[in-house]
Structure 1
Amino acid sequence: MMEKIFCPALPLAVTMGDPAGIGPEIIVRMFLRRPQQRCWIVVGDPLVMHQALTALNSSASVRQIATPAEARFEDGVLNVLVSSECAEPPPVGQVSAESGRAAYTAIMTAIRLAKAGTIRGVVTAPIHKEALAAAGLHYPGHTEILAEQAGGVDVAMMLANEDIRVVLVTIHCSLRDAIQRADFPAQTAAIRLAHTGARALGIGRPRVAVAGLNPHAGEGGLFGDEETHIIGPAVAQARREGIDASGPWPGDTVFMQARERRFDVVVAQYHDQGLIPIKYMGLAQGVNITLGLPFTRTSPDHGTAFDIAGRGVADPSSLETAFDYALRLTNGASV
């Protein structure tokens, strides 16, 4: 007889990600590695998830559900809320419109559940931007889909690990576009979200450091004036609002200072400025948190890894970290 597991709250939902990537595998690995933590559901394709279980020689079964309320949290049962039904699993490690559409449908279904209040939060497995585009869905990533469905609210990416937290002013765009988009409203929005996000993680009065855009934070105007005319005034505005913000700080040293606990969160100006220090410290413990949404969303800090998909070697550690952050955020506990 299967052992039933008591769930004291609504379940988290984990989207399957691109079915041709490592998403289904790392979800199943997390499921198998945590036998006493099963109060969650997968949103995705039951055939894809069954294939992932079979590939890992698991005797666990897929239970298809139409609503979270139908889930049965029993040992050896993976609850899959059906968002798509492929006739056959897409080939692993290959970009396809079918995979892109299935990944997108899973995301949209999870968003609908979160907005309806039938799940406690969303953890998203990786998607592939080319697959989305092949399906006619021209989104740079999860964040833009989530922001659109949340009604165009201000959102930001927070990347976090055990040592540092980073919030981005601009996300998925060219460096040329990032410079244009990093204006005063974008700066103040990012600083406010960094402050709010750090508080949600249990930090009472977050120390927010804002990185400069130019080398040496502009060196007093010698290398650019964005720090003087845009970033500095945004920091001053945040301080008037009661936020413990400082900067602009040189981008080549501010992350080191954050790691030394001088700051609680760093606002980075563009994608690679913020993600390189996070990813350099290792992908296993990195997590992406979307700030500004009306529900909790986290994800692992890596992609679909088509090069290793289907080989049975994918590491679920970052997904597990994202799952743990989602639990803590929805419990109101500190991270």
Structure 2
Amino acid sequence: MGDPVGIGPEIVLKALKHREIYDLCYPVVVGDPVVFRKINEKCGLGFNINIVEEGDLRRVRELGFESGEAYLVDIKGPDLSDIEFGVMSVKAAEATYLTLAKSVELAMKGLIDAVATAPINKQEMHLKYKDFIGHTEFLQQATGAPIALTMFQLENMRVFFLTRHVALRDIFKYVKKENILVMLRVMNVVLNALGVKNPRIAVAALNPHASDGGLFGDEELTEIQPAVEEAKREGINVEGPIPADSVFWQGRQGKYDAILSLYHDQGHIATKTVDLYKTVSVTLGLPFIRTSPDHGTVYSRAGKCTSSEVSMKESIILAAKYARSWREAWGRIKDIVSTALTSGADY
């Protein structure tokens, strides 16, 4: 559901109108039935909202996913009958949290195979949960995963991130050989698990022109290049550091299967500029696949029935495509990451 006062409920239901989703999976919504029935009626989406219990998920294939039928697990949270779309509230924050928690619970029990989350609002979450950082951090803590990696996928382009929600002035603390090497090892395993065999990986540079031999900073020479060279000795197919103003274009052209971005905006700008709505965020390193749209709650459009569901639809499709192979690889990935983290990497 995501944030109940954002565009999440609308784009979830709109996404479920695309029949191509049902060729790949049996989608079940987690959230508040009052909110979904409200947006369903307001936008004239024509769904019959059916409540399913956890036990029903074991026979989900028998439910009958006919056109116009939507199945929902009720989070049984606060009364949301009086919420206003586009207006933050403590109740909405609580419902968002309960939706995330219930989704994790169902996935950890093996009742669902993957999770596609709708957008949330961090400012709203802080009305009730002061320590809440974001989806990824919550999922890592809730599942006990040693690390949670963010991968953006836009068609054939995949982008990983060395750091996520870190102030730009602090990035240099994390651009270290060991951190980069750990990420390259994990990326290699993750991509193979997703069906990309012997993946071609590129590492973006930190400084302009990859520092031009040390003229503009020395991280390329002292940290990034040594990590790349050691990864190559381990058999990882990696190149870099490559100037950030060209490496993403090269990835888009198919030269690389994945790119390691060193900080948040470096990779976000590259993908969102190409196509904001088709970019999907994938969380890897959990016991299950998690995907989400690459946009926010867009309060200005909430409840107005004008929001595009494209990114939500793409998120559901990608989750379904990756879910089947992921659980088999989880044990290997968890062991490799755990071993790497004990070697001194700092995240």
Instruction: Please list the CA deviations of residues 56-91 of structure 1 after superposition, one character each: whole Å capped at 9, or x if unmatched.
Output: 223422222230237533423321111133421521
The answer to which structure, 1 or 2, has the higher relative contact order (CA under 8 A, 6+ apart) is 2
SS at match of 1:148: helix
Counterpart in 2 of 1:239? 232
Counterpart of 1:50 (choices 37, 40, 43) is 37
Counterpart in 1 of 2:244? 251
Question: What is the CA-CA distance between 1:200 and the residue it aligns to?
Answer: 3.2
- Does residue 101 in structure 1 map to residue 94 in structure 2? yes
Partner amino acid, structure 1, of 2:34: L
Counterpart in 2 of 1:30? 15
Question: What is the CA-CA distance between 1:225 and the residue it aligns to?
Answer: 1.3
- Does residue 182 in structure 1 map to residue 175 in structure 2? yes
Are residues 210 and 106 of structure 1, via their aligned partners in 2, closer, same or farther at CA, if it must alter by over 3 Å?
same
Counterpart of 2:2 (choices 7, 17, 36) is 17
Counterpart of 1:269 (choices 243, 253, 262) is 262
- Does residue 330 in structure 1 map to residue 323 in structure 2? yes
Counterpart of 1:81 (choices 48, 73, 78) is 73
Partner amino acid, structure 2, of 1:82: D
Contact 2:145–2:287 (CA under 8 A) maintained in structure 1: no
Are residues 307 and 192 of structure 1, via their aligned partners in 2, closer, same or farther at CA, if it must alter by over 3 Å?
farther
Counterpart in 1 of 2:52? 65
Are residues 295 and 263 of structure 1, via their aligned partners in 2, closer, same or farther at CA, if it must alter by over 3 Å?
same
Partner amino acid, structure 2, of 1:221: G
SS at match of 2:17: helix
CA distance in 1, matches of 2:4, 2:178: 38
Question: What is the CA-CA distance between 1:163 and the residue it aligns to?
Answer: 4.0
Aligned residues: 318
Contact 1:155–1:193 (CA under 8 A) maintained in structure 2: no
CA distance in 2, matches of 1:247, 1:278: 19
CA distance in 2, matches of 1:90, 1:182: 44
Are residues 210 and 82 of structure 1, via their aligned partners in 2, closer, same or farther at CA, if it must alter by over 3 Å?
same
Question: What is the CA-CA distance between 1:332 and the residue it aligns to?
Answer: 3.7
TM-score (norm 2): 0.86
CA distance in 2, matches of 1:301, 1:197: 21
Counterpart in 1 of 2:139? 146
Partner amino acid, structure 2, of 1:58: L
Contact 2:3–2:121 (CA under 8 A) maintained in structure 1: yes
Are residues 161 and 219 of structure 1, via their aligned partners in 2, closer, same or farther at CA, if it must alter by over 3 Å?
same
Contact 1:101–1:135 (CA under 8 A) maintained in structure 2: yes
Pairwise CA RMSD: 1.9
Contact 2:13–2:40 (CA under 8 A) maintained in structure 1: yes
Counterpart in 2 of 1:205? 198
Contact 1:158–1:194 (CA under 8 A) maintained in structure 2: no
CA distance in 2, matches of 1:105, 1:206: 37
| Structure 2 unmatched ranges of 5 or more | 327-347
Sequence identity of aligned pairs in percent?
36
Question: What is the CA-CA distance between 1:99 and the residue it aligns to?
Answer: 1.4
CA distance in 2, matches of 1:109, 1:264: 34
TM-score (norm 1): 0.89
Are residues 36 and 324 of structure 1, via their aligned partners in 2, closer, same or farther at CA, if it must alter by over 3 Å?
closer
Contact 1:22–1:310 (CA under 8 A) maintained in structure 2: yes
| Structure 1 unmatched ranges of 5 or more | 1-15
Greater helix content: 2
Contact 2:151–2:283 (CA under 8 A) maintained in structure 1: yes
